[in-house]
Amino acid sequence: MPIQNVGTLLENLVVTEAAVALLRLCHESAPFEFVNSFAMPSLTPWCTHAQNAGFDPATLERVRSASESPAEGATYPMLLRASLRFAADLGPNAALLVAGASLKTGVPCRMWLNDIRDGHYGDAIPLLEEIDALANAIYGVEQGATRTFSLCVSEANYPDSIIELAKVLDDWHPRGGARLGS
């Protein structure tokens, strides 16, 4: 449930722009790795908040209807705009934005996403398992780009999730070019 407040804006902006910067360090033999706990569903309804100044429905509509800039590349505004054009009433989680950035840059990506069944946001697991297909539907693949995407979705509770994450990271080969955790 992306809350229409500055916290959601800042969290997604920082994660997305950090991923974009780190994607530049990665390539086919050194993929980008993203790990995210409390991942929440990929797209969920926007939830109004008393402190939504600057990130209200009118702002989201301005982002959605803004004209494209060919030189924009994989940026938070471009990725959010594409998501809003796909479903104006739904907001993306950080993993979906990172998957979009990976698609737009053509860099291979591995993800480990953790949430629990029947958690605060409902059952996120089925939507997380479909994040690659959803990212393709929203962001598309750049013409001529080759990309590989590997996904591990965990429903393990803490602290078992940390043990599972350690095993997954140990199994990922070749070694990643950069890793971002959220």
Could you report the per-residue pLDDT of 141-166, keeping only the tens digit for each? 766 666 789 999 999 998 999 999 99
DSSP label of 66: S
- The reply to whether 67 falls in a domain is yes
- The reply to whether 166 falls in a domain is yes
pLDDT band at 7 (very low <50, low <70, confident <90, very high): low
**Segments forming the whole domain that contains residue 81:** 6-181
Please answer whether residues 30 and 174 qualify as being in contact, where contact means their C-beta atoms are separated by less than 8 angstroms. yes
Whole-structure pTM value: 0.92
- The reply to whether 1 falls in a domain is no
The Cα–Cα gap between 54 and 48 comes to 12
- The reply to whether 106 falls in a domain is yes
The number of distinct structural domains making up the chain is: 1
Could you report the per-residue pLDDT of 8-35, keeping only the tens digit for each? 778 899 999 999 999 999 999 999 999 9
Q: Which residue has the tokens 């398992």?
A: 129
Query: What is the per-residue burial (b if ≥16 Cβ within 10 Å, else e) of 19-52?
Result: bbebbeebeeeebbbbbbbbbbbbbbebeeeeeb
